[in-house]
Amino acid sequence: MRVDLFDFELPNERIALRPARPRDAARMLVVPAEGAFGDRTVMDLPDLLEPGDVLVFNDTRVIPAQLEGRRGEAKIGATLHKRIDLRRWQAFVRNAKRLRVGDVATFGGGVTAIAEERLEDGSFVLFFEGDEPVEVLLDRAGTMPLPPYIAGKRPTDEQDREDYQTMFAKEDGAVAAPTAALHFTDRLMAALAERGITTETLTLHVGAGTFLPVKADDTEDHKMHAEFGRLEQDVCDRLNAARAAGNRVISVGTTSLRLLESATGEDKVIRPFAGDTDIFITPGYTFRAIDGLMTNFHLPKSTLFMLVSALMGRERMQDAYAHAIANEYRFYSYGDSSLLLP
């Protein structure tokens, strides 16, 4: 499909620079398969689901993966993208023309890394020197890797270390937050439990590739980035049992959805998964694992807007986003939410 079919005009003032406070006070646009849209709030979620429905969260934890440093006299920046092993990370480098294979980059706090390899997409493999775990080095030298549409408008600060992390964050490895879950709070979780809504978690380490623009003119020519995910057997068993009993599996976020769909066969059985997924979901895709999606509002012509268009229909989502813009919903990572029920 032509990528420009997924374009829309978004006024600059609709981009949220801070999350709603409290988090569960964010607005939520309910998008059914047909009929009127519903203007609600995230705290209304228990009333919009049925007892027995299952919400699936991503428990990845965002690491301070944004680094500023030097190679000799030249300033460079690095955004870690994907872990390769205990000391190596794939990274997108700003001012990359000043960095060559074999060079040593020096970051804050005395952290150094060797540029071991330049990959086809222009990113580098960085080997972090020393004996301390890389996570310790990043805590010392790194900042939270806010999306470019926020970082370009204001500096990252200490508040972002809390704001850009979900309440489920447990497994270190993401360089972008699974933002749909940023809206959840203890009181919302208590209300969901009282309603009889159950929850499960999986792990997908979100990479910086999620923000890369689609440069191809046709979706067939776009190469999707890969991310590491893990889904355990006991979680699969409970999800399969819930669906067999006629209950719905609702993915909280496109990251959870992508891993669930990667782990599910044509027989619609969800199976354990551990490895990379580069699944690219566009209109025409047949969903196997999920019955609904809670997600924030995405960028024009992005792979994520293509995903929600695959779930609900492209024209339906164009109409939903037009409604959201006209009614002053807040967009992107720190913005409002939507509940898509095909």
Write out pLDDT tens, residues 46-68: 999 999 999 999 999 999 999 99
Give me the pLDDT at residue 59, please: 98
Q: Could you tell me what percent of the chain has a pLDDT over 70?
A: 100
Give me the pLDDT at residue 337, please: 98
Give me the pLDDT at residue 121, please: 85
Window from 21-25, 29-33, 130-134, 212-216 with minimum mean pLDDT: 212-216
Spatial CA neighbour of 255 closest among 232, 282, 222, 281: 281
Residue 36: count of CB within 10 angstroms of its CB: 8
Residue 322: count of CB within 10 angstroms of its CB: 12
Q: Which contacts (CB < 8 Å, 24+ apart) does range 321-326 have?
A: 321/8, 321/297, 322/8, 323/29, 323/37, 324/29, 324/297, 325/8, 325/9, 325/10, 325/11, 325/14
Give me the pLDDT at residue 306, please: 97
Kindly state the average pLDDT of the residues 323-329: 98
Cis peptide before 272, with omega less than 30 degrees from 0? no
Give the model confidence (pLDDT) of 161-212 as tens digits: 999 999 999 999 999 999 999 999 999 999 999 999 999 999 999 987 777 7
DSSP 196: T
Does the predicted model carry a pTM greater than 0.85? yes
Give me the pLDDT at residue 209, please: 72
Kindly state the average pLDDT of the residues 133-159: 91
Give the model confidence (pLDDT) of 260-304 as tens digits: 999 999 999 999 999 999 999 999 999 999 999 999 999 999 999
Q: Could you tell me what percent of the chain has a pLDDT over 90?
A: 90
In this prediction, residue 308 has a pLDDT band, given cuts at 50, 70 and 90, of very high
Distance CA 119, CA 256 (A): 28
Q: Distance of CA 246 to CAs 51, 242, 243, 288, Å?
A: 11, 7, 5, 14
